[in-house]
Structure 1
Amino acid sequence: MKLFAITLMLLAVACSPMTARAQRSHKDLAALWRTATADELAEVLPARAPVLQERIETEATANSGITDTHGRVIAVTVLITAGYAAHGKYSQYLVAGAPVEFGASVALKPGAYLLGWTRDEAGLHVSFYEAANGNLIGSVEALPSNPPLRVVPVRLWPPVQRSILQIGRFVIPYELR
């Protein structure tokens, strides 16, 4: 029994620095990211987003994103889908310049993605798709923000402020990888 207790204590001591180091590492990573400028967003978000075989206009005034000290950008904008096949299925276009995870189930590699949502009892059911082929990656629930935020079409908050993707009055937490 003593051997078990000693082993357990050594394991706890050995894991404590790793946990603290991992927490510090996450905080350090978050500190590297800031809100992207309009010029930085214009460099990565196209005026006409490639969505499957179409090029759909984007709403430049809705551009939002973050960038890090290495020039990587994660950005999102609204698609103007009226008159396109994407109407009713996709609503936002997202470019990930670094790995990012939304909610607990959607992990994105660097690339271009589409977001579509439907309203449900809890909030929004948001689905993530590959922009090139429309393949579904996964879905998460966006819940009403608490405390309430000013309603915007879409906004990606920097991790030092909130670590959320905001769609209207609903939010999805994200984590940089």
Structure 2
Amino acid sequence: MKILDRLSVCMLAAALVAPAVRGEQHTWRSATESELAQALPARAPVEHERIETEMRTASGIVDEQGHVTAGVVLITAGYSADGKYSHYLIVAAPLRVGGLLLPPGKYVLGWKRSAEGLDVHLYDAASGQQKGSALARLLPAGTRVEPFRISPPGEHGIVQIGRFGIPYTLVP
């Protein structure tokens, strides 16, 4: 019996240590309103302008060390964004959004409707240089419509724009 007890303790210890040995990512959860308010600007620096954000649409995720990946709708009326940008995004950890790799940084995104869903284009916020694009597909019926939402990676990792979503994964 003592051998079985020791073996059980060793197996439990190995199971607890294994994620650290493999270098797995931190646990992410939905960000609180106060975490979003601290991470996201009231006026987003986009190219040469500071565009007002709609903080009630803010959504994001945070890990246990306080790293926040979040986004918010931009109020672009009257700015030179001219429909090119609709959302501001801060990325704290590398993400693969659709097929596009986004390193940590600040981005803006815009979209156009297509037959397959939404063609989402991502740009560097400071320079306006396009980083790439991804396709947001229609989410299943019954999914709550959100102006913008980033769900934690444990909940199927989706960046949601309205009724459309793009899967994402954290990149180690």
TM bucket by the smaller chain?
Answer: 0.7 to 0.9
**Distance in structure 1 (CA, Å) of the matches to 2:91 and 2:68:** 7
| Equivalent residues in 2 for 1:111-122, closer than 5 Å | 111-122=105-116
Amino acid at match of 1:89: K
What does residue 73 of structure 2 align with? 78
What does residue 139 of structure 2 align with? 145
**Distance in structure 2 (CA, Å) of the matches to 1:95 and 1:69:** 17
Q: What displacement does 1:157 show?
A: 0.4
Question: Contact 1:148/1:169 (CA < 8 Å) preserved in 2?
Answer: no
- SS in structure 2 of the partner of residue 57 of structure 1: strand
TM-score (norm. length: structure 2) = 0.84
What does residue 47 of structure 1 align with? 42
- SS in structure 2 of the partner of residue 132 of structure 1: coil
Residue segments in structure 1 that go unaligned for 5+ positions in a row: 1-20
What does residue 29 of structure 2 align with? 34
Residue segments in structure 2 that go unaligned for 5+ positions in a row: 1-17
- SS in structure 2 of the partner of residue 134 of structure 1: coil
Q: Deviations over 1:137-159 (max 9, x none)?
A: 00011000125411110000011
- SS in structure 1 of the partner of residue 153 of structure 2: coil
**Distance in structure 1 (CA, Å) of the matches to 2:68 and 2:30:** 9
- SS in structure 2 of the partner of residue 160 of structure 1: helix
**Distance in structure 1 (CA, Å) of the matches to 2:141 and 2:95:** 24
Question: 4+ residue stretches of structure 1 with deviation over 3 A?
Answer: none
How high is the sequence identity, in percent, across the aligned residues? 51
**Number of matched pairs:** 153
Question: Contact 1:56/1:79 (CA < 8 Å) preserved in 2?
Answer: yes
- Whether 1:110 aligns to 2:104 is yes
What does residue 150 of structure 2 align with? 156
